[in-house]
Each structure stands twice: as C-alpha cells, then as structure tokens.
C-alpha cells in the first residue's frame, strides 16, 4: 500500500475523530501518524511483512492495527465505522487527486512572524518535496503577538527572499503576506503595499463571532479587494474546539468566483478549513481553490494529504486547484 494513500486514510480518521471532543487525543495521534507517513513514505508492505509497523514514529498498537487492515484489504473497518457513526459515508462522486502532480504551496510562515523555521529552512523543505514554488506569507502587523510585518519589514524580508532564492535553486519564492481581514472587511495593510506582493492571502483571525450579516459584509469587502488572491481558512474554525464564523456562504463564495479569488483548503489538522461540505458548495458556485499546508515549520508540509483528502471528498477536480498549476499559469503572479 502506498504511504500517501495510507496517510490520507489516517487523516480522515483523525478528522472524523475530531468531531467528538472526547476523542481529541486519539484524533491527534492519528493525524500525527498520517504526517509521519506522508513525510517519510515508509515501505508499508515490507514493514507489515516483518511485523514492524510500530517502528514508524507515532504508530502504536492501535494505529498499527488500522494500518495492517489497510495494507491487507485496501480498506479500514475502523474508518468505515467512523464514517457511519458521524454520518459521513464515502461519496461516490469524490474526485481523484494526484499529489505527485503538486507544483507548490502558496501559504507558509517563517520566523519573520510566528513560523518556527527560517526562510532558508522552509525553502529547502519545499525543494526536498519537489515543489517549484512556495508562497512566503507571514502575518500582517495587526497580529502583534506573532510579530506581524509592516511595509518596512516586508521590504527587508524581500532582500532575504532574493538571497534564499539564489541558494535554493529551482524553487521560486513568492513574496506574500497573510493579511488580516479587519472587522469591517478592510485589510491590515494599505493597497499600495499589497499591490507590490506576488501573493496576498486575506484571512479572518479575530472577531469570528460577528453577526452573520456583518460577517457577510466583511467577507464580501475582502473578496472584492483586487489585491486579494486567496481567502485563507475562510471560516476560522477549529474542529473540536471552535466553530467557525457564520455568514452567507453562498453570497460570499459566488463573489469569490466572480473576482477570481481562490478559497483556501487549509490543511492544518487543527483547522481543516474549508470543510469538505463548504468546499463542495464553493465548487458548485464556480470557485477555484488553494490547498495550503499553512506550514510554520518544514515538517508541516506533511499536512497536505489531509487537505487533498478534503478536496477529494468535496469532489474538486484538479484543474480547479491552483497548486497543480505551474508557476507561469498562476495569474496572480503574472499580474
Ligand atoms: Zn491564518
Ligand atoms: Zn497562515
């Protein structure tokens, strides 16, 4: 069995377990094991034959049993049971996502804000995974606790970007920002700054409990800003701990489609936002998508299979997903 396929199954188990607050630890264990599989791609069949599945980091007896089932039958009775219990059976219109066709990732953080690695380390991680490009999108100034970047620091960061690009050959670093969507829908940096960047991800981080009508206006304003390329984790939800913002999803997604603004599927297992259900609605309304690891360290690029699983479940074809487009085809960069 392919390690990535197994990682997607474990991811789905982690995701479904997260629906139940009592299972949050078990959920984390499954998600963590999924990351290890995605990152290290062990030879599962060989390990299974040698009875050594538990030698994989984060794989205890319980997870090894699930893996053994997957390897032997291609399926997991545990996953089937969870799907039934949570009312989320497999759908027959799921799409096919080929992760080996993955060109890059638009959303990542470095130690310029709350990332735990340098830009060079992040770039090397992306390069090791075969990416052709990586968006460096640290936080904007409002997020003070994470040392968000103002125009001056963005300029300083762009010099480091040039250096790192020279050092890590074959990987394009996109100078970007994850700009906060303020309460009234304005963005946390002036348009004159945003205009200069390769990629602008606008995300809601605070005041997510606004009245739905105010939240709708806020999101509509963000979506119609011509500098915005992607709406990051569009609801701000944290499965198992925080419900996301509620707004007129249909109206906002429709506007996103009209403006050519992509919606993010944030792969961070603590977010998984958009949910497969919301992503399916967005798909029907004509939206494009960005599957982003939102990595704060190179190891977190391994979140991607989770996002891919969500896209699959939402039935999103690969041609609607920016990550599968070569750099030259990304219109946001070309503009
Ligand atoms: Zn964010
Ligand atoms: Zn982020």
Task: Tell me if 138 sits within 8 A of 110, measured CB to CB.
Answer: yes
Asked if the model's pLDDT at residue 201 lies above 90, the reply is yes
Instruction: Tell how far the Cα of 294 is from the centroid of ligand 2, in angstroms.
Output: 5
Task: Tell me if 269 sits within 8 A of 294, measured CB to CB.
Answer: no
Name the pLDDT band for 34 (thresholds 50, 70, 90). confident
Ligand nearest to the CA of 108: 2
Ligand nearest to the CA of 109: 2
Residues contacting residue 192 through CB under 8 Å, at least 6 positions apart: none
Asked if the model's pLDDT at residue 36 lies above 90, the reply is no
- pLDDT, position 78: 97
The model's pLDDT over 47-61, given as tens digits with 9 standing for 90+, comes to 999 999 999 999 999
Instruction: Tell how far the Cα of 163 is from the centroid of ligand 1, in angstroms.
Output: 26
Name the pLDDT band for 303 (thresholds 50, 70, 90). confident
- pLDDT, position 216: 98
Asked if the model's pLDDT at residue 289 lies above 90, the reply is yes
Name the pLDDT band for 181 (thresholds 50, 70, 90). very high
Name the pLDDT band for 334 (thresholds 50, 70, 90). low
- pLDDT, position 252: 98
* 3-state SS, residue 54: helix
Asked if the model's pLDDT at residue 24 lies above 70, the reply is yes
- pLDDT, position 194: 96
Asked if the model's pLDDT at residue 320 lies above 90, the reply is yes
Q: 11: number of CA atoms within 13 Å, CB side?
A: 29
Instruction: Tell how far the Cα of 45 is from the centroid of ligand 2, in angstroms.
Output: 36
Q: E-assigned strands of the chain? A: 104-105, 133-139, 172-180, 199-203, 230-231, 262-266, 289-292
Instruction: Tell how far the Cα of 203 is from the centroid of ligand 1, in angstroms.
Output: 6
Ligand nearest to the CA of 300: 2
> Tokens for 65?
């049993």
What's the pTM value of the predicted model, to 2 decimals? 0.90
Helix axes 151-167, 119-128, angle to 10 degrees: 40
Give me the sign of the Cα torsion angle 106, 153, 196, 225: positive
Asked if the model's pLDDT at residue 19 lies above 90, the reply is no
Asked if the model's pLDDT at residue 335 lies above 70, the reply is no
Q: Which residues surround ligand 1, an ion (CB under 5 A)?
A: 203
Mean of the pLDDT values across residues 156-167?
96
Mean of the pLDDT values across residues 105-124?
97
Ligand nearest to the CA of 180: 1
Asked if the model's pLDDT at residue 42 lies above 90, the reply is yes
The model's pLDDT over 233-252, given as tens digits with 9 standing for 90+, comes to 999 998 777 889 999 999 99
Name the pLDDT band for 139 (thresholds 50, 70, 90). very high
Asked if the model's pLDDT at residue 331 lies above 80, the reply is no
Between CA 276 and CA 265 the distance in angstroms is 9
- pLDDT, position 202: 98
Ligand nearest to the CA of 295: 2
Asked if the model's pLDDT at residue 324 lies above 70, the reply is yes
Name the pLDDT band for 225 (thresholds 50, 70, 90). very high
């Amino acid at each position: 069995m392919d390690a990535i396929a197994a990682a997607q199954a474990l991811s789905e188990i982690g995701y479904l377990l997260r629906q139940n607050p009592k299972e949050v630890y078990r959920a984390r264990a499954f998600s963590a094991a999924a990351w290890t599989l995605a990152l290290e791609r062990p030879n599962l069949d060989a390990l299974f034959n040698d009875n050594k599945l538990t030698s994989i980091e984060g794989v205890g007896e319980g997870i090894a049993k699930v893996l053994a089932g997957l390897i032997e039958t291609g399926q997991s009775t545990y996953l089937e049971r969870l799907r039934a219990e949570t009312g989320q059976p497999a759908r027959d219109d799921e799409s096919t996502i080929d992760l080996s066709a993955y060109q890059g990732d638009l959303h990542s953080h470095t130690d310029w804000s709350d990332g735990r690695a340098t830009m060079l380390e992040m770039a090397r991680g992306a390069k090791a995974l075969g990416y052709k490009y990586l968006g460096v999108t640290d936080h904007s100034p409002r997020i003070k606790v994470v040392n968000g970047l103002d125009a001056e620091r963005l300029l300083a960061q762009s010099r480091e970007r040039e250096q790192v690009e020279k050092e890590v050959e074959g990987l394009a670093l996109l100078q970007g920002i994850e700009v906060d969507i303020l309460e009234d829908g304005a963005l946390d940096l002036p348009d004159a700054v945003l205009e200069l960047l390769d990629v602008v991800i606008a995300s809601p981080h605070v005041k997510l409990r606004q009245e739905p009508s105010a939240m709708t206006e806020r999101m509509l304003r963000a979506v119609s800003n011509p500098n915005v390329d992607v709406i990051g984790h569009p609801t701000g939800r944290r499965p198992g701990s925080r419900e996301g913002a509620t707004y007129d999803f249909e109206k906002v997604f429709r506007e996103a489609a009209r403006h050519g603004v992509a919606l993010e599927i944030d792969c961070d297992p603590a977010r998984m936002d958009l949910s497969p259900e919301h992503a399916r609605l967005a798909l029907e309304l004509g939206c494009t998508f960005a599957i982003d690891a939102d990595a704060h360290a190179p190891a977190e690029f391994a979140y991607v299979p989770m996002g891919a699983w969500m896209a699959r479940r939402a039935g999103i074809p690969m041609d609607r997903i920016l990550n599968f487009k070569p750099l030259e085809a990304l219109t946001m960069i070309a503009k």
